[in-house]
Amino acid sequence: MFNLRRFFYEAVALSEPDATSDSENLLLASNDAEKTRLPSPPRPQTTLGKLRQLPFVAKVLFLTSVFAFTIFFGQPIANFAALAYNVVLQCGKAHHQTPEVLEGGVLEPVAVRPAAPWHDGVPLVGQGATVTEPVLPAATPWGATRIEDRTGWKATCSSNQADSTTGCDKAIDARGVETDWKSATNPGAVHWIVIDLGREVIIHSLAVAPSQSSEDEGAVRKHRVEVREATGEWQLVALGAWRDSGGAAIFEPRLARFVNLSVVDTHGDAGFVAISDINVWTLPAIPGAVDRGGRWSHTLDFPLVPVTAWLNPKTGRLVTVASYAYNHFQANNKERKTVLAEWDPASGNITEQTIDKTHHDVFCPGTSMDEVGQVIFTGGSTADVFSIYNPDSGWGMPANNKVNKSRGYQGQTYLPDGRTFMIGGTWPDDSDVDKDGEIYDPKTGDWTLLKGKIPADAIRMDKSQCEPWSDAGGCVKDQWRQHHPWLFAWKDGSVFHAGPSKKMNWFFLTKGSERVEEGGLRQDASNKSNIFADGDAVCGAAVMYDAVSGSILTAGGAPNYHYWLNPESRDRHRLNSTNNVFNITLGTPGHVVEPTRLASMKHSRIFANTAILPNGEIFVVGGQTQGEPFYDETWLAIPEIYTPKTNEWRDAANHSIPRAYHSWALLLPDASVLVGGGGLNKDHEKTNHYDAQIYQPDYTTPDGKTTVERPTITNNHASIEEYQLGPSLKIPILTDVEVDDASLIRYSATTHSLNNDLRRIHLALVPQGNAADRNYTAEIPGDAGVTLPGYWMLFVLRKGVPSHAKTIRIYK
């Protein structure tokens, strides 16, 4: 159903590319030695260029004629606007690269940094004559139109095979997959093809079909996509790896005439590239800019649908997992393996592997990160086991890898005393409905069931929202009622359960005295005559944004996991998500908390994700107004940012790829946010998103175009400094310029909108000596319930602009 609000935005004129240097942008995909140097595309005199030379009166007459023709013969404006998509580009360039003439006047690319192989996958296009509408291996670009008329297109490339029937023009001809471009065989070389579209258009995405006659040899694997206007410099828009079935690169829209695909590696190690068809999608307009909205950088293409993600704190690499397959899941999976992909921001390399030694499919797991950076995975598709990812040695299976209750969708958190706690869950084993709490002790390697002491019934949501109705299906009272709990480790051996049930709890987990105490209702009762209460907030957001005061922000969610079982069957139980926002301040463990209602979000959301920014603001991204797994229809392309100091929300720059069910967001050490995933269901391929996008907040790019100078922490960068937590812990901080603020943000793992171990600590800087010495100390709260032991990102700020983080480890 057409949604005017989502599909229509005011178009704005594009700004000239900014002159951001490579050294200023550490989000670049490669270092200077590894950049692809592209040949300069031809710059013919265009018709538009000739028209610019006409006298002013002639120009007016020409534009009037064009306008009249459009009104009477063109596509109706309403239909044209319906093609617009709620994405926005802040006109900043993530990467600039100028062609370089090498020795002998030859223009050719050099090595691009590597990315990783993919599995065999589903076909990108079917066997047949011509391609009228390609079938993508991922979601089709929302709101975009494939350019079908290729009149005026021209292609140049690095090389062709001797056979004249395989020239690079075959990749863009009208015969689709009937013809191929095959480059010359040159193992180790970077192959490239540049497409001149003949005119400037707003490019949104492209798809590449492999040769239908090469038995997968020569199919693009490691790739890099760049675009360029008629004049100017190349802009990086996507990089990564595709499967041998082909791939799609979807990115923020750019005005461009030239498209370059650089191929550094192919499937089968053929030493040549074999492409049958390249398609380009376009938008009619670029939506309006957002004040203080930041900007989106390039897209990362992964070899799987990333559902769970975390940063390895020792290497800085992003690790993502899907399930036993790269594009699908299976309940109670007997294959007991997990597909993993890893991205190294420093080198750009994307690698993939299948983990089968743990006998664990970690789709829909419980996750927590411990004091030494290990990620503990419990349950999921393989519901009765757990496994541990070690930041040094990778994935391992404990000697006793069993949990007491088979479960998925549980909540989990690391505890200040070194143990791990989990509770709740339902799927995939709904027959055992009460998933009481369990605690893992690394000293014994065992999980202890807290049956009757920490009962799952304490976190059960409102059963009245789950009464049967006449339509087939319905919901079952004992299912979908104990999942994805928000858990926050706190002082004195306590964990606070903040939701998503409207009834909250305290869990006391000191060994031998485990118990549950009421924590109150998530409601604002400050006005007794007009109490504002939140309902159950399934898959809403919850984050401890100020650990010193124990302040938790909760936002959005819905009364139920599903809005509808099918679009034609709805009833009173199918309720929209909310935009409700509450602040919960924990204080003394065991007391009934008194939440405060905060300013509502601008947009109602379920399945959204949050990231705490170094300046204390909270970034909320993705989700949809009507929650339904594997259904992107009501997804939200407008992120928003909350400022606690002013209790205000503002919109951020829009993004072009749906991020709803199974999406995630993580703060990166350079203070940007990586947002990715969504989907993982081969029966709903259009909701499978094999990528992630980098968001740069406005503190690094105030106008969405240019970047600002940032402070630098000059402590020893060669090692991770470690500090033992205590009542008088003070850490030294050296900087290159005077700074005025600092913060710690904990490393954590996230899935299914849960990120329970994430928290931020604001640090007060104390200058040592003269201010010009740029030497400071910061006192760390000594309570492990506040400063949860583990790895943290340390940021300093100068007038609100953060540094790149220095990773430190705080242990008990």
170 and 281 in contact (C-beta within 8 Å)?
no
The CA-CA-CA angle for residues 48, 49, 51, to 5°, reads: 65
Clarify whether residues 615 and 730 are in a common domain.
Answer: no
Task: Report the CATH number that the domain containing residue 755 is assigned in CATH.
Answer: 2.60.40.10
Clarify whether residues 446 and 536 are in a common domain.
Answer: yes
Measured distance CA(261)–CA(278) in Å, rounded: 10
Clarify whether residues 775 and 645 are in a common domain.
Answer: no
Clarify whether residues 237 and 340 are in a common domain.
Answer: no
How is residue 593 annotated by DSSP? P
The SS3 call for residue 77 is helix
Instruction: Report if residue 83 sits inside a domain.
Output: yes
How is residue 274 annotated by DSSP? E
Clarify whether residues 326 and 370 are in a common domain.
Answer: yes
The amino acid occupying position 309 is A
| pLDDT score at 466 | 59
367 and 320 in contact (C-beta within 8 Å)?
no
Instruction: Report if residue 141 sits inside a domain.
Output: yes
Q: Which of 661, 695, 699, 776 is labelled catalytic? A: 661
Clarify whether residues 51 and 197 are in a common domain.
Answer: yes
How is residue 465 annotated by DSSP? G
- Six token digits for residue 323: 């399930």
Measured distance CA(30)–CA(110) in Å, rounded: 12
- Six token digits for residue 503: 């009834």
Clarify whether residues 311 and 413 are in a common domain.
Answer: yes
End-to-end CA distance of the chain: 55
| pLDDT score at 95 | 29
C-alpha distances in Å from residue 369, one per residue of 391, 701, 746, 774: 10, 31, 10, 33
CA nearest neighbour of 603 among 622, 584, 628 = 622
Tokens 């960068």 — which residue?
A: 717
Instruction: Report if residue 713 sits inside a domain.
Output: no
Ordered mean pLDDT values, 10 residues apiece, the chain (812 residues): 32 30 31 35 39 45 45 35 29 29 28 25 27 52 86 95 85 90 92 97 94 83 95 95 86 96 90 94 87 96 96 98 95 88 90 94 97 98 96 94 95 98 85 86 97 94 61 49 93 98 98 97 91 94 98 95 60 78 97 97 98 99 94 93 98 95 98 98 93 97 94 88 95 97 99 98 95 94 98 98 98 94
Non-local (6+) Cβ contacts of 145 within 8 A are 83, 281, 282, 283, 284
Clarify whether residues 475 and 376 are in a common domain.
Answer: yes
Which regions of 683-789 does DSSP assign to beta strands (E)? 691-696, 721-724, 730-734, 741-746, 749-751, 760-763, 765-767, 775-779
Clarify whether residues 164 and 214 are in a common domain.
Answer: yes
Which of 289, 322, 338 is the C-terminal boundary of a domain?
Answer: 289
751 and 364 in contact (C-beta within 8 Å)?
yes
The CA-CA-CA angle for residues 86, 90, 93, to 5°, reads: 125
Strands 775-779 and 730-734: antiparallel
Which of 289, 320, 343 is the C-terminal boundary of a domain?
Answer: 289
300 and 676 in contact (C-beta within 8 Å)?
yes
The amino acid occupying position 768 is Q
Measured distance CA(424)–CA(707) in Å, rounded: 45
Task: Report the CATH number that the domain containing residue 647 is assigned in CATH.
Answer: 2.130.10.80
Instruction: Report if residue 703 sits inside a domain.
Output: no
Clarify whether residues 355 and 337 are in a common domain.
Answer: yes
Tell me the CB-side half-sphere exposure of residue 389, using CA atoms within 13 A.
Answer: 30
412 and 781 in contact (C-beta within 8 Å)?
no
Count of domains observed in the chain: 3
Secondary structure (H, E, C), 477-508: CCCCCCCCCEEEECCCCEEEEEECCCEEEEEE
406 and 427 in contact (C-beta within 8 Å)?
no
Instruction: Report if residue 98 sits inside a domain.
Output: yes
Instruction: Report if residue 710 sits inside a domain.
Output: no
| pLDDT score at 78 | 31
Clarify whether residues 647 and 758 are in a common domain.
Answer: no
- Six token digits for residue 724: 């033992």
Measured distance CA(287)–CA(89) in Å, rounded: 7
Structural domain for 795, as ranges: 721-811
Known active-site residue 661: yes
Non-local (6+) Cβ contacts of 649 within 8 A are 599, 600, 601, 602, 640, 641, 642, 643
Instruction: Report if residue 55 sits inside a domain.
Output: yes
Which of 262, 289, 316 is the C-terminal boundary of a domain?
Answer: 289
Instruction: Report if residue 767 sits inside a domain.
Output: yes
Clarify whether residues 770 and 691 are in a common domain.
Answer: no
194 and 157 in contact (C-beta within 8 Å)?
yes
Task: Report the CATH number that the domain containing residue 69 is assigned in CATH.
Answer: 2.60.120.260
Measured distance CA(703)–CA(798) in Å, rounded: 18
